[in-house]
């Protein structure tokens, strides 16, 4: 592929001069130079002797001819040396130019993107990648074809206008368009064009990249995002329904059951209604809270004292803990300041609730903390049945809960804990209690 006219290049000019000077052999050049010098000197001596002496001086002519011979020999030798050096320079320049053209040609031929040269709307050259993109078996199938034969009808006007603007010398931005290939496929392509000199005339080099798969992926992503947004809208609608349309009637059922239980305190059916309504209310509130937490990307934070937060959580959970026969041993003695959102209290409410469900009657729960330079680690130690190693990760996932008969809840409490801790840039995990039971660790950054 020849992409430029080098007729005015210094190397080409130099090559032409040397070739004209060296159509005859160098030694012939020497003898012709000597003969011409002798003839010129003889003529000049004849003229000078006539002018000076009025007659031809053969002695003067002989001296002049001998001098001319040596002068011509020296000059021609120098010229021969210079010509040889010029030949070496010319050969070196031609070799480098040939290597450069070869590298350029191989680069074009091996390029993974399509490259074509066209003039007046007709394809003059296309590389193998371009032929493949446009559905041709070989580049030769496309040479001579009109560009508009390959353009999708929806882009006739756009491409035609771009061709006219390029002819006027305008530099145009990349264009995404569609092509109809020789084998009948419709492809999406990104096209970039620039003017070049090809075979001594103005032409246009166009780079074509097949972006069909990229466009398909973009469309799939747009469709997925639209479906995701719709799903989020449905989730918000469902959450709103749970919070209002379901919670209100369940609350009415529970209140009615409480009134009936006051009148019939030993009625087991009423007690079942009470337990079931309380369970349903807890489920609805937990699901609504988890849904809201999952949609939050960042929390507003303020300086809080973890010691005060944990003390409030213990006070709020004390009725449940007393009912379960659990004793809480709070070993926090000094303030523990962190940058957090007040929602962090829900972490310790859920951990205490979890301890009340799984710790045997008469046992205790120990709460303590370790303060580091950049974070604080709070641990809640229980003396219950413990958690198998296979379940230590799963219990923090939604609806994953160890089997336990008679335990209320749907496994969302620890999921809420994990989400709140992650929103604070911390982490939560569980380990075995060497004394029996489990230890839940909550690590939170101070800042």
Q: Which residues contact 174 (CB under 8 A, 6 or more apart)?
A: 190, 191, 192
**H/E segment holding residue 59:** helix 58-110
Distance CA 200, CA 213 (A): 38
Pairing assessment for the beta strands 327-330 and 364-371 based on DSSP bridges: parallel
| pLDDT of 241 | 65
Q: Does the structure show a pLDDT above 90 at 70?
A: no
Check pLDDT > 80 for residue 223.
Answer: yes
pLDDT beyond 70 at 1: no
Least confident of 16-25, 65-74, 320-329: 16-25
pLDDT at 311 over 90: yes
Q: What is the pLDDT of residues 356-398, one digit of tens each?
A: 877 766 688 999 999 998 999 999 998 888 888 888 888 887 6
Task: Report the C-alpha gap between 375 and 78 in whole angstroms.
Answer: 87
Q: Which residues neighbour 331 within 8 Å (Cβ) at sequence distance 6 or greater?
A: 366, 367, 368
Rounded mean pLDDT, 84-98: 75
Write the CB contacts of 166 (distance below 8 Å, at least 6 apart in sequence): 172, 193, 195, 204
> How far apart are the C-alpha atoms of 257 and 267, rounded to whole Å?
11
Do residues 354 and 381 lie in contact, with contact meaning Cβ atoms separated by under 8 Å? no
3 state SS for 211-244:
CHHHHHHHHHHHHHHHHHHHHHHHHHHHHHHHHH
φ/ψ (deg, to 5) at 346: -60, -25
For the segment 177-194, the average pLDDT, to the nearest whole number, is 92
The confidence score (pLDDT) of residue 400 equals 47
pLDDT tens figures, 248-302: 777 788 888 888 888 888 888 888 888 788 777 777 777 777 767 766 777 888 9
**The pair of three-digit structure tokens given for residue 316, joined into one six-digit string:** 């709020």
- For residue 183, pLDDT over 70 is answered with yes
- Whole-model pTM: value is 0.48
- 3-state SS of 69-127 is HHHHHHHHHHHHHHHHHHHHHHHHHHHHHHHHHHHHHHHHHHCCCEEEEEECCEEEEEC
| Cα atoms found within 13 Å of the Cα of residue 245, Cβ hemisphere only | 6
pLDDT in tens, 134-149: 999 999 999 999 999 9
Q: What whole-number distance in Å separates Cα of residue 393 and Cα of residue 280?
A: 26
Q: Average model confidence (pLDDT) for the chain?
A: 79
Q: Provide mean pLDDT across the span 152-159.
A: 92
Neighbours of 24 (CB within 10 A): 10
Name residue 188's beta-bridge partners. 178
């Amino acid at each position: 592929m020849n992409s430029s006219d080098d007729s005015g290049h210094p190397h080409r000019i130099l090559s032409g001069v040397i070739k004209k000077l060296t159509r005859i052999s160098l030694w012939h050049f020497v003898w012709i130079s000597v003969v011409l010098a002798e003839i010129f000197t003889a003529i000049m001596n004849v003229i000078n002797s006539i002018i000076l002496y009025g007659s031809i001086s053969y002695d003067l002519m002989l001296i002049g001819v001998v001098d001319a011979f040596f002068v011509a020999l020296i000059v021609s030798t120098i010229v021969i040396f210079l010509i040889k050096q010029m030949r070496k320079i010319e050969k070196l320049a031609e070799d480098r130019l040939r290597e450069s053209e070869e590298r350029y040609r191989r680069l074009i031929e091996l390029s993974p993107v399509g490259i074509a040269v066209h003039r007046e709307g007709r394809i003059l050259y296309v590389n193998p990648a371009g032929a493949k993109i446009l559905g041709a078996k070989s580049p030769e199938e496309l040479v001579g074809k009109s560009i508009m034969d390959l353009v999708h009808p929806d882009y006739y006007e756009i491409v035609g206008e771009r061709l006219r603007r390029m002819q006027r010398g305008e530099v145009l931005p990349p264009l995404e368009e569609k092509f109809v290939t020789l084998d009948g496929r419709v492809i999406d392509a990104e096209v970039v064009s620039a003017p070049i000199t090809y075979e001594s005339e103005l032409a246009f080099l166009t780079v074509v990249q097949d972006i069909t798969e990229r466009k398909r992926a973009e469309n799939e992503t747009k469709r997925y995002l639209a479906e995701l947004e719709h799903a989020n809208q449905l989730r918000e609608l469902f959450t709103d329904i749970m919070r209002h349309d379901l919670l209100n009637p369940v609350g009415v059922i529970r209140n009615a059951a409480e009134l009936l239980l006051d009148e019939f305190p030993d009625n087991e059916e009423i007690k079942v209604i009470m337990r079931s309504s309380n369970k349903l209310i807890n489920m609805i509130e937990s699901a609504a809270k988890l849904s809201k937490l999952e949609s939050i990307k960042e929390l507003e934070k303020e300086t809080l004292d973890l010691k005060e937060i944990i003390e409030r959580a213990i006070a709020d959970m004390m009725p449940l803990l007393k009912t379960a026969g659990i004793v809480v041993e709070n070993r926090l003695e000094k303030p523990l300041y962190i940058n957090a959102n007040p929602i962090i209290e829900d972490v310790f409410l859920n951990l205490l609730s979890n301890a009340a469900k799984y710790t045997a009657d008469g046992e205790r729960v120990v709460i303590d903390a370790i303060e580091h330079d950049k974070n604080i680690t709070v641990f809640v130690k229980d003396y219950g049945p413990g958690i198998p190693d296979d379940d230590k990760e799963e219990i923090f996932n939604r609806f994953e809960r160890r089997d336990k008969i008679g335990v209320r809840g749907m496994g969302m409490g620890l999921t809420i804990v994990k989400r709140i801790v992650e929103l604070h840039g911390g982490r939560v995990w569980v380990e075995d209690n060497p004394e029996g039971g489990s230890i839940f660790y909550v690590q939170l950054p101070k800042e």
